[in-house]
Amino acid sequence: MVDSDSAPAVHRNGALIFVIALVFIDMLGFGIIMPVLPGLIGELTGKAVGNAAVDAGWLAFAYALMQLIFAPIIGNLSDRYGRRPVMLAALVGYGGNYILMGLAPTLLWLYAGRIVAGIFGASFSTAYAYIADISTPEKRAQNFGLIGMAFGLGFIFGPALGGFLGEYGTRIPFYVAGGLALANAVLGFFLLKESLPPEKRRAFSLARANTISALRSLKGKDSTLWWYCAAYLAWMMAHLVYPAIWAFYGIAAFGWSERMVGLSLAFVGLSSAIVQGGLIRIIIPRIGEAKAITLGIALVLVSMGIYTVIRNDMWVWVALCIGALQGLVQPSLNALMSRTVGEDNQGELQGALSSLSGLASVIGPPLFAYVFAVFTTGQYGLPFLPGAPFALAGAIAIIALALFWRGYRQQRQLGAADLIKKAI
């Protein structure tokens, strides 16, 4: 960490703004392309929306697999060579990815772009490390909160902008996203200072820079944590139904334009920000984490059921409002898991959870895309049901709830046993 004497306030503030802009632009770019990706895949392959969704699922798989592999590597590289070169390289990688996808003459180019994006998109951990380096202890939590705000704002404005630009051509949003990333890289080259001094760097270790090592850290931990981690994996997989097939669902079920897809995704981001920025602080202290998780998953099941059966898109907005309270689940589960390990294992736990999230991202999108395809293309004689992936996601969410309650009951039993021992 850089103290107040070695890092002037002006430098810290400017660096903080830049890192927030990096995260915002990354999410803005991700959101910009979501409304137009179905159209671009269809344009390149000539496939109907159902089969195009399968290609999108495998594109998401390629992106997630690269993140799963490279996130620990890039984190270790930033500890060895500093945060600045890693973040600037990430911005150049983002820009190249979006321009590559915008120019794509074939589907293979899209895969190349997603692979590049997955490799450089694994730099979020470096952004958090930079914030930790430049923040005083009393400001660190607040500054981490600003990163979360940038993440949410990018997802609110990105889809809306992408839907608007998509009306003028499916490739324009990609060029805009690429231009923003490259412009930020140029600014960063001249303005961003290194936050990690040479004396605080460590040698690169490939043995530590892999997902298996992160997951291996769970070995020997309390079995309650294993139940919670299983619930976390299932929950993250269920949640991935939205980025995997939402745009394709809107087009197939309601004939939405890119603009409508973008507006609906912006509404998702806005409602999520309201829940995570405000309602969490009211609901969780009043009912506790376990009930908050149960409430969040129960309301998600209601919204998933609506998506599965509706034929009028008016109900989509109702379901989005109900499902927004799913934002209670992950923070509550994280809080409970953090209590099962010591203070000196918190970073190790978060690394393992990041790996589980990456694993879910590898499995979920292709699975949901395949289910969407078989229920929208008439394969196997199945009825036309574009909401079928939401039914599957609901089933996975039920599994997550069952796994959570198994772990929670065990945690309570262990807590009661400890109290009895202390009384004796």
What is the pLDDT at residue 5? 43
What is the pLDDT at residue 238? 95
Percent of residues, the chain, with pLDDT higher than 90? 28
At 39-58, the pLDDT tens digits run 899 999 988 888 899 999 99
Residue type, 48: A
At 185-207, the pLDDT tens digits run 888 888 778 877 787 777 766 66
d(CA 156, CA 397): 25
Higher pLDDT, 290 or 129: 290
Do 273 and 154 contact (CB within 8 A), yes or no?
Answer: no
Q: Which of 173, 256, 170, 187 is nearest to 22 (CA)?
A: 187
Question: Average pLDDT of the chain?
Answer: 82
Give the global pTM.
0.79
What is the pLDDT at residue 346? 57
The yes-or-no verdict on residue 168 having pLDDT over 80 is yes
What is the pLDDT at residue 317? 94
The yes-or-no verdict on residue 369 having pLDDT over 90 is yes
The yes-or-no verdict on residue 337 having pLDDT over 90 is no
pLDDT bin (cut points 50, 70, 90) of residue 224 is: confident
What is the pLDDT at residue 141? 54
At 69-122, the pLDDT tens digits run 877 777 777 777 888 888 888 888 888 888 988 899 999 999 998 888 888 765
Query: Range with the lowest mean pLDDT among 97-101, 122-126, 329-333, 386-390?
Result: 122-126
d(CA 116, CA 94): 8
Token pair 């002006």 is at which residue? Answer: 10
CA atoms within 13 A on the CB side of 2: 21
Sign of the alpha-carbon torsion through 416, 334, 241, 70: negative
3-state SS, one letter per residue, for 270-284: HHHHHHHHHHHHHHH
At 323-332, the pLDDT tens digits run 988 888 888 8
Percent of residues, the chain, with pLDDT higher than 70? 83
The yes-or-no verdict on residue 315 having pLDDT over 90 is yes
What is the pLDDT at residue 417? 46
Higher pLDDT, 146 or 268: 268
Do 319 and 303 contact (CB within 8 A), yes or no?
Answer: yes
What is the pLDDT at residue 28? 80
What is the pLDDT at residue 105? 93
